[in-house]
């Protein structure tokens, strides 16, 4: 039964509306079946008021009518002694038809949403209970997390908690049980957010922190959205992953019996997340989706911290206790700190001791995970460990052909070998190039319908790039571009190596030039912050970056890579990968600039396409 729901505009041109629901899983299935392609994949959220979130790509009068019919059907199925739920009418927003699209991996990476205006519909039975609902506790700004100086302690501390959403967001919300001292006008709402971020003490602190808690609970999804393209049916097996495939199938067929716990590990872009999604879908079919809990290291650790501050940790514990299978992707990205350490250790220990099926994936080997094991008192090596290796040439080509076909990228044989096979690129990198190519195609096709996919990929892979280093005069002559402040939707932060601040102006100018020349777009953005990092500190920098940006109200991050003479240069690819994965998990787009390729046109074009 649907007891409560809201529809809100998001400001996102793709996911235009956000539908929040308090209901059962069977109700979600009815909604998805009825509304079809206008719905995103449903996400379970941790909130006192809602337990599911669905994004709507469209919302017009026809969709509104379908949704009302769903509510009517569900209401009719209630027992006779229950009152019929009749929601208030929702005014359909002005609607401009969007192009048809299907969900893809790229859709799981969202830009934090601008202004929301929420229209709420509440069951009368809920209104009768509103007097019993207590105010949220005050949330104090947590301390900055100290990053341990250990090797694969590149899996340590939690980001400082603040609002993940842009500070310009104004939520008009008739919260049940909400006290009257909450901000009511736009100006006051904006001021309250800045007070929380600045740790300003005032008589309104209680209302401010309560409001922040509500926002975080509505925004953060602790569970990992599943990608329907990543299933056992689309998984290509070979000698590199045959044992992992057999173990995964055994887990799906008999969860908790054998291969428990199981750790799947291996290098970047070789299919670990594909296994995680495939197992999740297989288990949801065999034992039901309500019996599995799927998350990743970043989402779980940040979600636990939010729950601690919001005083609803019991909800996470109840969800996990009720599940038969716990699946955690990218366990190496677990952000452990003194606040969440005890709870995460507790739930993992209890899950493993109670014979729940537990599945982990990691970029790092069990030996490299030892610092994380010591932090939380869990031995990942106590169960089954299966690694995924590099595929052989025939399997590599089969997977590559599948990606090209799925993305509808048409290349001649010699170009496939030139761009991908000869370089033996991992499939995460290949996928990013193909996604950029499809996005670039949409821009270029408006002015040039004859351009070929091979030409676009050549632009993105830098086959004709200038690889010289910009001189001191070029860097000195570059004017710093700070953006257009509040007028721009794009709000970006920049991290640069210590001693290389003069590069920022050069990069900013070149980005505008490349956007104008290659995309026929006048690119503008607000630079929210510029922050340096130590390129000779080889451990923990990605987590320090995550810790810093999470409350900065940005929707994009630019990272300038370490200079080739620095200690971190040898680990740059690992540094980049960890940073990108953390940003993806907190819904911030990211772009990477290699410090030895600052003149390369492909670097700027790729960065722009990654950020916009």
Full 3-state SS string of 35-57: HHHHECCCEECCCCCCCEEEEEC
Alpha carbon dihedral 536, 538, 540, 544, in 10-degree steps, equals 20
Q: How many other CB atoms are found less than 10 A from the CB of residue 254?
A: 13
pLDDT of residue 374: 87
Phi and psi based region of residue 462 (left: phi greater than 0; alpha: psi -120 to 50; beta: remaining):
left
Please determine, for residue 10, whether its predicted confidence score (pLDDT) is greater than 70: yes
Mention every residue, 6+ apart, whose C-beta is less than 8 A from residue 164. 112, 216, 219, 220, 550, 551, 586, 587
- 3-state percent breakdown (helix, strand, coil) of the chain, nearest 5: 45, 10, 45
Question: pLDDT digit string (tens) for 185-226?
Answer: 333 333 333 333 334 334 444 444 444 444 344 346 788 888
Is the CB of residue 41 less than 8 Å from the CB of residue 19?
no
Is the CB of residue 210 less than 8 Å from the CB of residue 182?
yes
Question: At 563, is the secondary structure helix, strand, or coil?
Answer: coil
**For the chain, domain boundaries:** 4-216, 242-387, 393-461, 472-611
The arrangement of secondary structure in 242-387, i.e. its CATH architecture, is 3-Layer(aba) Sandwich (3.40)
DSSP string across 326-337: EEEE-GGG----
Closest CA to 193 of 179, 205, 182, 208: 208
Under the banding of pLDDT at 50, 70 and 90, the label for residue 164 is: very low
Question: pLDDT digit string (tens) for 378-401?
Answer: 887 777 889 999 999 999 999 999
Residue 7 to residue 92: CA distance in whole angstroms: 10
Domains 242-387 and 472-611 share a fold: yes
Question: pLDDT digit string (tens) for 247-302?
Answer: 999 999 989 888 888 999 999 988 899 999 999 999 988 898 889 999 999 899 88
- Higher-pLDDT residue of 278, 103: 278
Structure tokens at 602: 């492909």
Under the banding of pLDDT at 50, 70 and 90, the label for residue 610 is: very high
Q: Phi and psi of 363, rounded to 5°?
A: -70, -30
Average pLDDT, stretch 441-450? 79
Closest CA to 27 of 67, 81, 87: 67
Least reliable range by pLDDT among 81-95, 332-346, 448-462: 81-95
Q: Mean pLDDT for the chain? A: 75
Share of the chain above pLDDT 90, in %: 26
Q: How far is the CA of 254 from the CAs of 144, 224, 385, 388, in angstroms?
A: 43, 23, 17, 22
Closest CA to 363 of 353, 376, 372: 372
Under the banding of pLDDT at 50, 70 and 90, the label for residue 121 is: very low
Question: Is the previous residue joined to 314 through a cis bond, with omega within 30 degrees of 0?
Answer: no
Least reliable range by pLDDT among 4-13, 183-192, 509-518, 534-543: 183-192
Question: At 591, is the secondary structure helix, strand, or coil?
Answer: strand
Closest CA to 27 of 40, 42, 16: 42
Under the banding of pLDDT at 50, 70 and 90, the label for residue 123 is: very low
Residue 270 to residue 403: CA distance in whole angstroms: 13
- Angle 61-76/25-35 helices, nearest 10 degrees? 140
Residue 2 to residue 361: CA distance in whole angstroms: 35
Under the banding of pLDDT at 50, 70 and 90, the label for residue 432 is: very high
Average pLDDT, stretch 549-566? 91
Model-level pTM? 0.62
pLDDT of residue 67: 86
Mention every residue, 6+ apart, whose C-beta is less than 8 A from residue 296. 224, 328, 329, 330, 333, 585
| Centroid of chain to Cα 549 | 14
Question: At 122, is the secondary structure helix, strand, or coil?
Answer: strand
Q: How many other CB atoms are found less than 10 A from the CB of residue 84?
A: 9
- Higher-pLDDT residue of 71, 118: 71
Phi and psi based region of residue 313 (left: phi greater than 0; alpha: psi -120 to 50; beta: remaining):
alpha
Residue 490 to residue 487: CA distance in whole angstroms: 9
Residue 206 to residue 568: CA distance in whole angstroms: 43
pLDDT of residue 218: 38
Average pLDDT, stretch 15-29? 85
Please determine, for residue 556, whether its predicted confidence score (pLDDT) is greater than 80: yes
Q: Which helix (H) or strand (E) holds 590?
A: strand 589-593
Structure tokens at 269: 């872009």
Structure tokens at 213: 């808690």
pLDDT of residue 213: 47
Structure tokens at 425: 């690129």
Average pLDDT, stretch 26-33? 81
Is the CB of residue 174 less than 8 Å from the CB of residue 126?
no
- CATH number for the domain whose boundaries are 472-611: 3.40.50.2300
| Number of helices (H), then strands (E), in the chain | 20, 14
pLDDT of residue 140: 34
């Amino acid at each position: 039964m649907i007891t409560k729901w809201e529809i809100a505009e998001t400001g996102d041109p793709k996911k235009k509306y956000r539908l929040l629901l308090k209901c059962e899983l069977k109700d979600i299935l009815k909604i998805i079946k009825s509304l079809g392609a206008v719905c995103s994949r449903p996400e379970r959220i941790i909130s006192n008021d809602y337990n599911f979130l669905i994004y709507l790509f469209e919302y017009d009068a026809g969709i509104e009518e379908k949704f009302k019919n769903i509510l009517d059907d569900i209401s009719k199925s209630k027992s006779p002694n229950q009152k019929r739920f009749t929601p208030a009418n929702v005014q359909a927003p002005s609607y401009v038809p969007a192009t048809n699209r299907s969900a893809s991996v790229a859709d799981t990476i969202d830009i934090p949403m601008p202004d929301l205006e929420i229209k709420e519909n509440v069951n009368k039975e809920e209104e009768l209970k509103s007097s019993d609902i207590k105010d949220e506790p005050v949330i104090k700004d947590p301390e900055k997390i100290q990053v341990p100086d250990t090797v694969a302690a590149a899996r340590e501390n939690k980001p400082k908690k603040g609002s993940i959403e842009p500070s310009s967001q104004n939520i008009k919300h008739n919260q049940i049980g909400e006290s009257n001292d909450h901000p009511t006008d736009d100006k006051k709402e904006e001021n309250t957010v800045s007070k929380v971020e600045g740790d300003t003490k005032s008589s309104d602190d209680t209302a401010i922190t309560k409001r922040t808690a509500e926002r975080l609970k509505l925004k953060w999804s602790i569970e990992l959205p599943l990608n329907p393209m990543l299933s056992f049916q689309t998984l290509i097996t070979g000698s590199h992953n045959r044992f992992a495939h057999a173990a995964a199938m055994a887990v799906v067929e008999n969860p908790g019996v054998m291969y428990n716990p199981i750790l799947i590990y291996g290098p970047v872009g070789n299919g670990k997340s594909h296994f995680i999604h495939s197992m999740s879908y297989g288990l949801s079919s065999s034992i039901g989706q309500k019996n599995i809990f799927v998350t990743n290291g970043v989402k779980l650790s940040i979600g636990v911290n939010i729950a601690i501050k919001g005083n609803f940790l019991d909800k996470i514990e109840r969800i996990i206790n009720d599940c038969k299978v716990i699946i955690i992707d990218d366990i190496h990205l677990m952000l452990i700190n003194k606040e969440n350490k005890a709870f995460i250790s507790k739930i993992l220990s209890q899950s493993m001791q109670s014979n729940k099926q537990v599945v982990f994936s990691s970029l790092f080997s069990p030996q490299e995970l030892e610092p994380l094991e010591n932090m939380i008192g869990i031995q990942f090596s106590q169960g089954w460990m299966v690694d995924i290796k590099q595929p052989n040439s025939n399997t590599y080509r089969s997977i590559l052909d599948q990606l090209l076909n799925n993305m509808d990228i048409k290349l001649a044989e010699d170009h496939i070998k030139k761009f991908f096979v000869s370089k033996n690129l991992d499939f995460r990198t290949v996928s990013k190039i193909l996604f950029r190519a499809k996005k670039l195609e949409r821009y270029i096709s408006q002015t040039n319908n004859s351009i070929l996919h091979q030409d676009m990929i050549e632009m993105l892979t830098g086959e004709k790039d200038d690889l010289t280093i910009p001189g001191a005069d070029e860097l000195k002559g570059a004017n710093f571009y700070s953006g257009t402040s509040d007028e721009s939707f794009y709000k970006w932060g920049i991290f640069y190596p210590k001693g290389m601040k003069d590069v920022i102006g050069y990069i900013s100018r070149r980005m505008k030039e490349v956007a104008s020349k290659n995309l026929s777009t006048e690119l503008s953005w607000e630079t929210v912050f510029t922050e340096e990092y130590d390129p000779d500190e080889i451990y923990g920098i990605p987590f320090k970056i995550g810790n810093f940006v999470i409350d900065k109200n940005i929707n994009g991050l630019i990272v300038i890579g370490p200079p080739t003479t620095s200690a971190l240069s040898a680990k740059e690819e690992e540094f980049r990968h960890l940073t990108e994965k953390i940003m993806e998990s907190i819904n911030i787009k990211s772009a990477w600039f290699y410090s030895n390729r600052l003149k390369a046109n492909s670097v700027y074009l790729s960065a722009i396409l990654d950020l916009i």
